[in-house]
Amino acid sequence: MSRLILASASPRRAELLAQIGVPFEVVPADIDETPKPGEAPEAYVERLAREKALAVAGAESRLPVLGSDTSVVIGGDILGKPDSPASARSMLQRLSGSTHQVITAVAVAVAGRCHCRVVTTNVTFRPLSQAEIHAYVASGEPFDKAGGYGIQGLGGIFVCELKGSYSAVVGLPLCETAELLAEAGYTVCDNWPGSGKESQP
């Protein structure tokens, strides 16, 4: 197998897969992402990653399907994507000067089976000024991102410490993704230049 399906419309996940030389096609999953009452953040992201992979695998069984989900958690609360400038400012104010968790799950569905890994990274923000918060919200960057920031973009200047996987904070833990794919019989490095096994156009 030389290709896989990414069950996500996230441009950041697509960029990360391309970064490690994985050829893929995008087939976004259409699932209900509402948390269940009392559902722990780790269980929530794992469930969504699995549901995304399995939803697409049900219709696209010819290739491995990769699903993923990311949540930003502080004080046990899941911070979703801000739906207004006010909510974005509120999230950033809460993250300011504090350590939060970014929990990302990745799942691979193939041949009727689905395996998943959950990765937690601790991210610490330095204290943010009101001017920085307002300028960042005005940039528009927070609005399609869990927790209201992108570490790979302008929001990178807010992060003073990170313990764990940087790529998981962006949206896809590359180490764990490669391990899951290998378990599914898909070796990432087979597609690297010079391997002799690259997929043909």
Strands 4-6 and 65-74, sheet pairing: parallel
Residue 162, SS3 per DSSP? strand
In sequence order, the β-bridge partners of residue 110 are 113
DSSP 8-state symbol, 84 = S
The phi, psi pair for 89, rounded to 5°, reads: -65, -40
User: Residues 32, 69, 83, 190: which is the catalytic one?
Assistant: 69
Contacts of 10 (CB under 8 A, 6+ apart): 68, 171
CA distances from 87 to 71, 80, 132, 152 (A): 16, 10, 15, 21
Active site residue 77: no
CA distances from 123 to 14, 38, 139, 141 (A): 23, 24, 22, 18
Q: How far apart are CA 100 and CA 41, in angstroms?
A: 12
Instruction: Provide the annotated active-site residues.
Output: 69
